[in-house]
């Protein structure tokens, strides 16, 4: 069995978060979705659990930081081309996200960073390892 990753994110508005991730082209798994949480399906092995603050607090006794003011983590997802990086970034912007820095283009690697509606930063990246500098 392949290893899966489940990213758990505290969110303010479950319905709004589900609309945001749907606008990026991601679906949700209704088996793990209720009025306190939703399982966003990124791929066969990558899932994002968007959890209301009340639900998130059941898993951690630490305070929930404000991702609009503090960086908790940066989540990076690869795309198959520069065009796909731009497409998902633009979808995120259209759905209410914000670009946290200008696009980065290193020739062999291209990325854009988009904060979702709660401020969680997603970096979308394309790489061509055959073009990576050797020095």
Return the pLDDT at 132: 79
Cβ neighbours, 10 Å, residue 58: 11
Fold match, 1-60 / 67-135: yes
Domain 67-135 has CATH 3.30.360.10: no
The per-residue pLDDT for range 92-104, each reduced to its tens digit, is 999 999 999 999 9
| pTM recorded for the entire structure | 0.89
Per cent of the chain over pLDDT 70 is 100
The pLDDT, as a whole number, for residue 77 is: 96
Task: Return the domain boundaries, the chain.
Answer: 1-60, 67-135
For domain 1-60, the CATH superfamily is 2,3-Dihydroxybiphenyl 1,2-Dioxygenase, domain 1 (3.10.180.10)
Bridge-based pairing state of the strands 109-115 and 121-127: antiparallel
The length of the chain, given as a count of residues = 135
Place of tokens 């306190």: 36
């Amino acid at each position: 069995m392949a290893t899966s990753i489940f990213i758990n994110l505290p969110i303010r508005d479950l319905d709004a978060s589900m609309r945001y991730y749907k606008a990026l082209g991601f679906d949700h798994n209704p088996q793990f979705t209720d009025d306190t949480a939703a399982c966003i399906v990124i791929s066969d092995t990558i899932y994002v659990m968007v959890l209301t603050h009340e639900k998130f607090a059941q898993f951690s006794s630490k305070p929930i930081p404000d991702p609009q003011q503090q960086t908790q983590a940066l989540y990076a997802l690869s795309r198959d081309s520069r065009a796909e990086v731009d497409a998902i970034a633009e979808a995120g912007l259209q759905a209410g996200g914000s670009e946290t820095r200008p696009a980065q283009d290193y020739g062999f690697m291209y990325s854009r960073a988009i904060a979702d509606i709660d401020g969680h930063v997603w970096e979308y990246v394309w790489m061509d390892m055959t073009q990576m500098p050797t020095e």
